[in-house]
Amino acid sequence: MTDTPFEMGPIRPVDEADSLLIRTTRGCPWNRCSFCTLYKKIKFSLRSVADIKQDILAARDYFNGHPFETCFLQDGDSFVMGTKDLISVLEFLKKAFPSLTRISSYGRAQTMAKKSLADMKAIRAAGLNKLYCGMESGSARVLKNVKKGITPESIIRSAHMAKEAGMDMTPFIILGLGGKELTKDHAIETARVLNEISPDDIRLLTIGVKSDSDLGRQMAAGRFTLPSEADIIQEQRLLLENLSGIESHYANHHSVDLLLEVRGQLPEDKARLLAILDRFLGLDPKDQINFTLGRRLGYYQRLSDMDNWLTYDFVERQAQKIRAGGESFEAIFHRLRIQVI
């Protein structure tokens, strides 16, 4: 909850930083993914159409007619709402904020697959024109291991339906989610599914395993091995290398990602993006640690920032202190990743 006179959920996608946020549901209707603790303390509930409309009016007054162009519907899955209810909310929202050109929401593949194509087209016609999908992986084995509750087939089916209805689609992929054990399967199968659905945007996230998550407990028990930062970049290289025949914007865009400069349009930027990954992989191990530490501590944004020898030396002195202390760099990098997710 916030100080605003309308409800707000805990998160929104990075790309929705400037968007109006309207909460249609609370929590996540699935809430079982082994890596996710986001909504563990929130019991899932649908909000009534009347309450959502009241919030829309409160937001309009609160923002004093601000001409928002984009709106994101929170929380985990607006498609759980009945189609008529969702359409009624969308129509009301567009009347209250006539400047909106994009309305987006998270949508679980399994929930969307229960809607008919006619439903999806009607929802699109009412204004919802962008979907964020927590796909995480295209590997059936990884999806099963992390209890995602979706399959590659349901992802492909729901994505095709959303596209046919005219919605833009942005899947999120979590690098490292298969652990060291399934890294190749995760990369290759994710590329296969992305090639099938040809999304408008592909957003990469890097794994951070919280100790109070199921996956954290599996890791502590030795049943999941966290890949190193270099392993994760290698995995991303394999994924990107296998993307073909699609026209998608591909981006590492969250601060949890190591190489934020890996972003561009496929297919034309593919060679450039691979070259960035190769530049990191080609660094000697000491420089890989220097870059990763500097990036995770906020001294570097891009690989070329290492060319500033003053910053490089400063980071190197931090690295030496860590070496003297004896803690593993990978443990520190992982801890720093968890702090930003």
**Angle at Cα 231 formed by Cα 214 and Cα 202, nearest 5°?**
75
Please list, residue by residue across 115-131, b when 16 or more beta carbons sit within 10 angstroms of its beta carbon and e when fewer do.
beeebbbbbbebbbbbb
Residue with Cβ nearer ligand SF4 (199 or 294): 199
Q: Which of 20, 21, 22, 38 binds ligand SF4 (CB under 6 A)?
A: 38
Binding to ligand SF4 (CB under 6 A): which residues in 121-150? 134
Which residue number, 47 or 108, has a Cβ lying nearer to ligand SF4? 108
In the complex, minimum distance from the CB of residue 29 to ligand SF4, in angstroms, rounded to a whole number:
8
Count of Cβ atoms closer than 10 Å to residue 140 Cβ: 15
DSSP state, residue 305:
G
Helices 285-296 and 229-241 cross at an angle (nearest 10°) of 90
Q: Which of 20, 33, 182, 232 binds ligand SF4 (CB under 6 A)?
A: 33
Tell me which residues in 292-321 interact with ligand SF4 (CB under 6 A).
none
Q: Does 151 bind ligand SF4 (CB under 6 A)?
A: no
Nearest approach, Cβ of residue 139 and ligand SF4 (Å): 16
Q: Using CB under 6 A, which of 8, 15, 31, 270 touches ligand SF4?
A: 31
Of the candidate residues 6, 30, 68, 224, the single one contacting ligand SF4 (CB under 6 A): 30
Nearest to 211 by CA among 331, 327, 44: 331
- On the CB side of 23, how many CA atoms lie within 13 Å of its CA? 22
Instruction: Tell me how far, at minimum, the Cβ of 32 lies from ligand SF4, in Å.
Output: 6
Closer CB to ligand SF4, residue 77 or residue 119? 77
DSSP structure string for 249-277:
EEEE-STT-S-TT-EEETTTTHHHHHHHH
Determine, following the binding rule CB under 6 A, whether residue 39 of this chain makes contact with ligand SF4: yes
Q: Which stretch binds ligand SF4 (CB under 6 A): 28-36, 82-90, 125-133, 207-215?
A: 28-36
Contact by Cβ (8 Å): 309, 315: no
Select from 76, 171, 176, 199 the one that contacts ligand SF4 (CB under 6 A).
76
Residue (36 or 155) nearer to ligand SF4, CB:
36
CB atoms closer than 10 angstroms to residue 244: 11
Stretch that binds ligand SF4, among 35-43, 45-53, 137-145, 184-192 (CB under 6 A): 35-43
Structure tokens at 313: 């030396």
- Characterize the bridge pairing of strands 201-206 and 249-252: parallel
- Give the Cα separation of 300 and 46 in Å (integer): 43
> For residues 30 and 333, which CB has a smaller minimum distance to ligand SF4 in the complex?
30
Whole-angstrom Cα distance, residue 174 to residue 256?
11
Question: How many positions of this chain bind ligand SF4 (CB under 6 A)?
Answer: 11
Of 20, 21, 22, 28, which one interacts with ligand SF4 (CB under 6 A)?
28
R_g of the chain computed on alpha carbons: 21
- Nearest CB to ligand SF4, comparing residues 47 and 296: 47
Classify strands 70-74 and 45-46 as parallel, antiparallel or unpaired. unpaired
x-or-dash string of contact with ligand SF4, 96-115, rule CB under 6 A: ------------x-------
Q: Nearest 5 degrees, angle CA 143-CA 149-CA 150?
A: 70
Residue 77 C-beta: closest distance to ligand SF4, Å:
7
Q: Which residues bind ligand SF4 (CB under 6 A)?
A: 28, 30-33, 36, 38-39, 76, 108, 134
